[in-house]
Amino acid sequence: MIEELLKYDTELFLYLNNLGTESWDGFWRIVTEKWSSIPLYALLLYLIYKELGTKGTLIVLVSVALLVTATDQFANLFKYGFERPRPCRVESLQASMRFVADGCGRFGYFSAHAASSMGVAVFVGLLLRSQYRYLPFLLIFWSVVVGYSRIYLGVHYPLDVISGMFFGGLLGWLFYLLQEWGQKRFKDV
């Protein structure tokens, strides 16, 4: 059953990866670059500050830093636990795939990019959902685009991305709850 799932995952990877064209390669490289999200993060930080003030924003910043660290380390635990090679490392795929990334790590299950972007999307979406009704959906859409960029570039299978989004979303929710506890705990300090 696992072999069948991995076969379908590879077929879906090849289909999605080969949708790309050279004219879009630059765009997807920018999307996948961690630093390209800084304007979005700055806007979200402003909205959070506007809503929670200095003390509340500091609690959120600590929570998000812990969230991103947790998603990254959790992804590494899985990558080195499962040791599933990235598609760009599989010789039998290289002739039939597009490899657009600048580099290719060893293992890919699961995507830290997908996990951290979904974690932040869920966390901030929950945090600001009452003030900005459509923000959670926009952030999840952004996270899905980041996840697809990893397939487009040839460094992750769809299952790597979907699993990363699942674990990232779960951690985003848990750290949102932790942040809520911190807001109540340090409200009068």
| pLDDT exceeds cutoff 90 at 42 | yes
Q: What is the pLDDT of residues 58-77, one digit of tens each?
A: 999 999 999 999 999 999 99
pLDDT at 189: 59
How many residues are present in the chain? 189
pLDDT at 186: 79
CA 25 remoteness from chain centre: 19
pLDDT tier, 34 (very low <50, low <70, confident <90, very high otherwise): confident
Contact 114, 160 (CB under 8 A): yes
Tell me which architecture the domain covering 2-185 has in CATH: Up-down Bundle (1.20)
3-state helix, strand, coil in the chain (%, to 5): 75, 0, 20
Name the helix (H) or strand (E) containing 101: none
| Entry pTM | 0.92
Of residues 153, 158, 117, 156, the one with CA closest to residue 138: 117
CA distance 147 to 44: 20
pLDDT tier, 164 (very low <50, low <70, confident <90, very high otherwise): very high
Give percent of the chain above pLDDT 90: 86
Contact 120, 139 (CB under 8 A): yes
Residue extents of the structural domains in the chain = 2-185
